[in-house]
Each structure stands twice: as structure tokens, then as C-alpha cells.
Structure 1
Amino acid sequence: MSELFVSNKYTTDPRPSVSLFGYELIRDVLLTELLGKDAPEILYWAGKKLARRFPLYNMDEVIAFFHEADWGLLVVKEEKRKEVGLELSGEWITHRLEKDVHSTFQLEAGFLAQQLEMQKKVVAEAFEHPRKRSGKILFTIKWDIKDPINGEHK
């Protein structure tokens, strides 16, 4: 994976870690202020763009990416023919859900949708389902095997 990733502050990795406060300033304060009411939609498409920049070839790599990016612990909960259910948990997820009623995880949803789209070579869409009581986010990624992607994304 890229050296751009920041390691978890609890590892012995010598690279610097990101503080929760710094992450909140950028993600939940600055971006929300700059993007306004369109923040969820823009973050979804930004997640798709990030996925195209960092293509991953299977779900194990996606899970590793989430860990390296400090986005949380991603676990496959259910796999079906045309969809997959994923659960995202971790200290930052719980904190964001407890602190902010309007936290959005559309960046992660867009990233997941695009990764599955590239891996399965069909159009995919992700939906987030916050579970505030458990401090987790559930994602459902759906695709239609009859809707193949045509050519490269720009």
C-alpha cells in the first residue's frame, strides 16, 4: 500500500499518527462548512474518486485499506449474489456517532461502492445504516450483474 497512509497510533510503527481532534476538525467541521447541505453527496463521489486512485483487488485489501487509513475495522457480515453487508466499527466511529447526530459516512460508502464496482465490473451502489446504540455503521453494497461497467471511469 501507499506510504501516504498514516498508521494507528497504538502500533509501534514509527510513522506519525492522526489525532481524533485533528480528524474531526477536517472531516466534521471544515468539510461540512465548505460543502454545506451537499456534503453527503459530494463526499460519496469523493470516496469513489479515492477508490479509483487506490484500486484494490479483493475485499481483504479493502479491509486492510480501512485499517491503514484509520477509517475503522471493516468486517464482512453477509454476502449474497447481488449484495454484500459490511460493518464498520472502532473508536472513531463510536465517537463520531455519539458526538454528532448528523455524522455521515458517505466518503466510506462511495469508496466501498467504487471498489466493488471495479472488482466485479458491474455498477455498484452503497448505502449506509448508522447504528448509534452499537457505535457501528452497516453498509449494504448492491450491484446488478446485468449492468456491466463500460470502459474506464474518469
Structure 2
Amino acid sequence: MSEMLEVKEQETLSETVPVFGYELIREVLLPDILGEETPKILYWAGKNLARKYPLKSASEIITFFKQAGWGDLRVVKESKNEQILELSSEMIVNRMKTNGKTTFQLEAGFLAQQYEGQKQVITEAFEHPKKRSAKVQFTIKWDMKDFA
């Protein structure tokens, strides 16, 4: 894992952020500031974060999600040109219950950029919130002929 991530891990061991504070920023403040462009901007913000924290493998991505407090990420299915991941956490359950317009584009953008960096081809990620199970599936797609 990158040295930056290891340093961040040490810094966060002794501190925690209340979920309420995180949700205030993510679900209230950012949409108020960004308006209807919130999902698009969050996607690009996720890509930007991924460039600052480049990871070498899917297992590092899974660890990053856990450390960032984004939830438990797992690979559901993998094929030649796509991968399906599932994200779950108690916070996601609460976000889906309290906010019908919640978006996971920050995470999608982060995933797209990580896979693009690892595979060296143009990659996109799509979110699929599953309200019944209170989980989010992400479809990551790439074309091995479309070099980044």
C-alpha cells in the first residue's frame, strides 16, 4: 500500500468522526453547495482522490474503503471486461433510510480511477443502490483496447 495511506492509517487510529458529522457534510452541506451537479462533481472528486492515493490491487482498494469509513467492499463477480463490487455498512443502511436521493458517486469515481490506473485502460464505474438490502453494487467496466 502507498506510504501516504499508511501514514493516514496511523493518524486515524486514535480518532473517530461521529457519523452524524460525516452525514451533515456528505448528505446536507455538499448537495446545498453543489446543487443538481452533486453526483457529477462527486464522481470527479472520487477520481481525484484515487489519483492522490493510487492503490496496487483490489485488496488494497477494499482496505482503503474500510479505513475511509466508506464500508465493507467485496467482489461479487468478475469477467474479462467488468467487475461487480458490493458495498455495505451500517452507515449505508442509515443513508438509504433517511435520504432518498443519496448518491455513491464519490465511491464510484474512486473505483473507476483505481481500476483505470491498475489496468491502464479507460474505465467507468456505475452505482446501483439496492434499497431492500441496503447495499450498493458498483459495476466497473473497461475496454482493453481503449488505453488510458
- Does residue 1:67 correspond to 2:66, yes or no? yes
Partner SS for 2:8: coil
Q: Which residue of structure 1 lines up, in the alignment, with residue 57 of structure 2?
A: 58
- Does residue 1:106 correspond to 2:93, yes or no? no
Distance (whole Å) between structure 2 residues aligned to residue 33 and residue 4 of structure 1: 29
- For 2:139, the aligned partner's letter is T
> Paired residues, what number?
143
Distance (whole Å) between structure 1 residues aligned to residue 25 and residue 90 of structure 2: 17
Superposition CA RMSD, Å: 1.1
So what's the TM-score if we normalise by structure 2?
A: 0.94
Q: Which residue of structure 2 lines up, in the alignment, with residue 82 of structure 1?
A: 81
Distance (whole Å) between structure 2 residues aligned to residue 19 and residue 3 of structure 1: 21
- For 2:38, the aligned partner's letter is A
So what's the TM-score if we normalise by structure 1?
A: 0.90
Partner SS for 1:142: strand
Deviations, residues 45-77 of structure 1 (Å, cap 9, x unaligned): 000000000000000000000000000000000
Which of 7, 28, 31 is 1:3 aligned to? Answer: 7
- For 2:115, the aligned partner's letter is L
Of all paired residues, the percent bearing the same amino acid is: 55
Deviation at 1:4, TM superposition (A): 3.1
Deviation at 1:142, TM superposition (A): 0.1
Mark the runs of 5 or more structure 1 residues left unpaired by the alignment. 8-12, 150-154
- For 1:148, the aligned partner's letter is F
The structure richer in helix per residue is 2
- Does residue 1:17 correspond to 2:3, yes or no? no
- Does residue 1:128 correspond to 2:127, yes or no? yes
Mark the runs of 5 or more structure 2 residues left unpaired by the alignment. none
- For 1:117, the aligned partner's letter is E
Deviations, residues 55-102 of structure 1 (Å, cap 9, x unaligned): 000000000000000000000000000000000001111110111100
